[in-house]
Amino acid sequence: MITVKILEASDIVEPTDWVRPLYLFSGDGEVHTTSTYGGRPINNLKWLPVYSCLAPRWHGKSVADVESLLGPHEFMRGPLPKEHQHPDQRPVPGYTPVR
Protein backbone atom coordinates (compact mmCIF):
# COMPACT_ATOMS: atom_id res chain seq x y z
CA MET A 1 0.00 0.00 0.00
CA ILE A 2 1.18 3.55 -0.73
CA THR A 3 0.07 6.86 0.70
CA VAL A 4 -0.69 9.77 -1.61
CA LYS A 5 -2.23 13.17 -1.03
CA ILE A 6 -5.30 14.11 -3.06
CA LEU A 7 -5.16 17.85 -3.67
CA GLU A 8 -8.18 19.99 -2.87
CA ALA A 9 -9.36 23.25 -4.45
CA SER A 10 -7.17 25.49 -2.25
CA ASP A 11 -3.99 23.40 -2.65
CA ILE A 12 -1.16 24.75 -4.79
CA VAL A 13 -0.19 22.75 -7.89
CA GLU A 14 3.49 21.85 -8.12
CA PRO A 15 5.24 20.69 -11.33
CA THR A 16 5.95 17.29 -9.78
CA ASP A 17 2.33 16.62 -8.79
CA TRP A 18 0.30 14.11 -10.80
CA VAL A 19 -2.78 15.09 -12.81
CA ARG A 20 -5.49 13.56 -14.99
CA PRO A 21 -8.65 15.10 -16.44
CA LEU A 22 -12.00 13.94 -15.11
CA TYR A 23 -13.90 14.62 -18.34
CA LEU A 24 -12.71 14.79 -21.93
CA PHE A 25 -14.52 16.93 -24.48
CA SER A 26 -13.73 17.55 -28.11
CA GLY A 27 -13.77 21.04 -29.63
CA ASP A 28 -17.45 20.64 -30.54
CA GLY A 29 -18.42 19.74 -26.96
CA GLU A 30 -18.80 16.01 -27.60
CA VAL A 31 -17.91 13.78 -24.66
CA HIS A 32 -15.32 11.11 -25.40
CA THR A 33 -15.59 7.75 -23.66
CA THR A 34 -11.93 6.91 -24.27
CA SER A 35 -8.89 8.95 -23.39
CA THR A 36 -6.93 10.76 -26.08
CA TYR A 37 -3.85 10.25 -23.89
CA GLY A 38 -3.99 6.52 -23.21
CA GLY A 39 -6.80 5.15 -25.38
CA ARG A 40 -8.40 3.60 -22.30
CA PRO A 41 -11.89 4.19 -20.89
CA ILE A 42 -12.24 7.64 -19.39
CA ASN A 43 -12.48 6.23 -15.85
CA ASN A 44 -9.09 4.58 -16.26
CA LEU A 45 -6.84 7.44 -17.37
CA LYS A 46 -3.15 7.19 -16.62
CA TRP A 47 -1.58 9.92 -14.51
CA LEU A 48 0.84 12.49 -15.93
CA PRO A 49 3.23 14.71 -14.02
CA VAL A 50 2.02 18.32 -14.12
CA TYR A 51 5.23 19.43 -15.85
CA SER A 52 4.43 17.25 -18.87
CA CYS A 53 0.90 18.43 -19.58
CA LEU A 54 0.28 21.85 -18.01
CA ALA A 55 2.16 24.94 -19.15
CA PRO A 56 4.49 26.55 -16.60
CA ARG A 57 1.98 29.38 -16.06
CA TRP A 58 -0.19 26.89 -14.11
CA HIS A 59 2.60 25.80 -11.76
CA GLY A 60 2.12 27.48 -8.40
CA LYS A 61 -1.60 28.14 -8.97
CA SER A 62 -4.36 26.62 -6.89
CA VAL A 63 -6.32 23.61 -8.09
CA ALA A 64 -9.38 25.89 -8.25
CA ASP A 65 -7.54 28.34 -10.54
CA VAL A 66 -6.53 25.55 -12.92
CA GLU A 67 -10.01 24.04 -12.99
CA SER A 68 -11.67 27.42 -13.57
CA LEU A 69 -10.23 27.52 -17.09
CA LEU A 70 -9.31 23.92 -17.90
CA GLY A 71 -12.27 22.08 -16.37
CA PRO A 72 -12.31 19.37 -13.70
CA HIS A 73 -9.07 17.53 -13.03
CA GLU A 74 -7.77 15.22 -10.33
CA PHE A 75 -4.45 16.16 -8.73
CA MET A 76 -2.37 14.10 -6.35
CA ARG A 77 1.04 14.25 -4.74
CA GLY A 78 3.22 11.33 -3.78
CA PRO A 79 4.76 8.13 -5.13
CA LEU A 80 2.88 6.47 -7.97
CA PRO A 81 3.49 2.94 -9.30
CA LYS A 82 4.70 2.84 -12.93
CA GLU A 83 1.62 0.94 -14.10
CA HIS A 84 -0.53 3.98 -13.28
CA GLN A 85 1.76 6.49 -15.01
CA HIS A 86 1.31 7.56 -18.60
CA PRO A 87 4.43 6.56 -20.56
CA ASP A 88 4.90 9.95 -22.30
CA GLN A 89 6.23 12.32 -19.64
CA ARG A 90 8.20 14.82 -21.73
CA PRO A 91 8.17 18.35 -20.30
CA VAL A 92 6.02 20.95 -22.07
CA PRO A 93 8.02 23.74 -23.75
CA GLY A 94 9.17 26.35 -21.24
CA TYR A 95 9.48 24.00 -18.28
CA THR A 96 12.88 24.05 -16.63
CA PRO A 97 13.29 21.57 -13.77
CA VAL A 98 14.63 23.08 -10.56
CA ARG A 99 17.48 21.01 -9.20
Beta bridge partner(s), residue 18: 49, 76
8-38 as b/e: b if 16+ CB within 10 A: eeeeebebebbbbbeebeeeeeeeeeebebb
Would you state the pLDDT for residue 6?
Answer: 94
Contact between 59 and 13 under an 8 Å Cβ cutoff? The reply is yes
Return per-residue pLDDT of the chain as tens, 99 residues. Answer: 888 899 999 999 999 999 988 765 555 666 655 656 556 555 557 898 999 888 889 999 999 999 998 888 999 999 988 888 888 787 877 777 665
In which region does residue 48 sit, left (phi positive, over 0), alpha (psi from -120 to 50) or beta (all else)? beta
Would you state the pLDDT for residue 7?
Answer: 97
